[in-house]
Structure 1
């Protein structure tokens, strides 16, 4: 058997040699060294950037989600880079399959929480659900997805190395990805519904109050406490586009991985790395980059507290004593 044939032979047909620790190339190919090194470096840069900006702006939930996500991406591409020189090392393979599978779920965890914050920023009467309901639903789905993908990835990778049946682990991974795709689909629908309700309220308010300026109208129909955030133009609208871009790209990535795993470990997609490099590495990088450049901390402000809680049915929610003491000024909110 030639080296070329061995490189691209379907994973499940490769054999182990008892004279060595492992003679199974669980990839079914040799990972591209330069492409995976480039991904490693780029995600390491994003990791450092989000760490510094997240700590500085004090957006703790978003910081935690993106810190873990970027860290997992960096670790995953370290595994793929090292696998170029040793594609038989099961530890490198486990590192990349688990880390790169889980990372997007953490990114979406950060994005999900932003929708709850928007519910607070606009106030009651706009959101169809209470802010904490968004958090409970989507973050719970995210955690379930993470657990299923982690368990399934570990089971499938171990089964590959031991020449055992990979179907149980693969099915669990597919289930985890399916949960993630379903949650993102519902999230997208609720996000568009939220935007549509904002637009409708603006049109209605303009009809009823034609003489008010845009800022006066905004403060009248939405929560006035956070008007300074909504009035940060054009940054605020660019931020909304960045959220949409990140969500859409990760959604495409999840669909790709769902199809890839559904084909099995010897399927066409998994044995052709260019698909992975574009639909996994590049797409996730661009999605994370969009919300790294237009970071929530730049929009919300460094010392602005936007506590996520339930909304009352009246126009504006009641503030806690702690929130009443918060003072917003240009020096506090400017980056």
Structure 2
């Protein structure tokens, strides 16, 4: 039998997994999962379901590690595959929801011109990259878990590395896109950015934090798999617990506190406002009155004969408002 066909000397763990540490992650991820489920259902933020599934993947993955602690040193394949694949793939699911949030923020602030990627393509491009990363990592993990030869093991590792590299690439581009948008909206704020009551500035900072943590975790896993079975990173459980488990748990907590239902409050109302702006004011309705020093404010304008429009000074004008209703 050639070296390429030889049975690989694969060792499930290079340490004895800690029951206390892994059980703690099971409990903590389960708690944040319940919190996210509650907010998703109550606030109807259905696009955040992938993030919830990612949290559940983490919790179940660490259940696999808890099971493994009772098998030391005669570990079995089932719990190993369970923890390996679920913990590996969970961040890709979380990332999908994170990508969707930026597009919604751009539309909420009516700041399409500040995005370097067209808003209609913003979410699609990054989610497509995330799906590609997820599928590639899943394929690589599947090949690696069922490898019977060294050649198959190497193939699985290379495919998995490609998936992680795709994730790092797209998340890096996403962070750059977010930074540029933040700089532009700060230098040239839109009227909507003043009138929106949602704490979108805090939300952008939360988005930075979550993106950075997921990126660091992805870089860690890339280096871990690239270093091979004898790497220092695989030799101690502490690296996985801190650079993967803890970072993803912090991400889940951050977006539980700065949940899109709160940070992007008014997103649905944004659609209504745009439709109203496009067809003009209704009779006796709220007209967008912009005055120096107070952009984005609205003022009630009573209906009076011959006074259907408005001026930026805040006084009704005698001229008609284009697109309005005639008295």
TM-score by length of 2: 0.76
Is 2:276 the counterpart of 1:288? no
The 5-angstrom pairing of residues 220-299 of structure 1 reads: 221-222=190-191, 224=192, 228-229=195-196, 231-232=197-198, 235-299=199-263
Q: Distance in 1 between matches of 2:277 and 2:135?
A: 36
1:319 positional shift: 6.9
- 2:232 aligned counterpart, secondary structure: coil
Q: Distance in 2 between matches of 1:320 and 1:90?
A: 60
* 1:281-327 per-position Cα deviation (integer Å, ceiling 9, x unaligned): 111111221111111112233883667xxxxxxxx966799xx99x9
Contact kept in structure 2, 1:57 and 1:301, CA below 8 Å: no
**Equivalent of residue 96 in structure 2, options 109, 112, 121:** 109
1:79 positional shift: 0.6
* 1:151-175 per-position Cα deviation (integer Å, ceiling 9, x unaligned): 101111111xx46441100101100
Match of residue 113 from structure 2: 125
The 5-angstrom pairing of residues 135-284 of structure 1 reads: 135-159=123-147, 162=148, 164-165=150-151, 166-202=153-189, 221-222=190-191, 224=192, 228-229=195-196, 231-232=197-198, 235-284=199-248
Q: Distance in 1 between matches of 2:14 and 2:241?
A: 16
Which fold has the larger relative contact order, with Cα–Cα distance below 8 Å and residues 6 or more apart in sequence?
1
**Equivalent of residue 50 in structure 2, options 57, 65, 80:** 65
* Bigger radius of gyration among the two: 2
1:13 positional shift: 3.7
Match of residue 95 from structure 1: 82
* 1:52-77 per-position Cα deviation (integer Å, ceiling 9, x unaligned): 11111111102x11111111101110
Q: Which runs of 5+ in 2 are unaligned?
A: 1-6, 287-327
- 1:30 aligned counterpart, secondary structure: coil
Q: Which runs of 4+ in 1 moved over 3 A?
A: 11-14, 162-165, 226-229, 301-307, 316-321
Q: How many residues end up aligned between the 2 structures?
A: 271
Q: Which runs of 5+ in 1 are unaligned?
A: 1-10, 15-24, 203-220, 308-315, 329-335
Higher helix share: 1
Q: Distance in 2 between matches of 1:301 and 1:198?
A: 18
Q: What's the RMSD between the two structures over aligned residues? A: 2.7
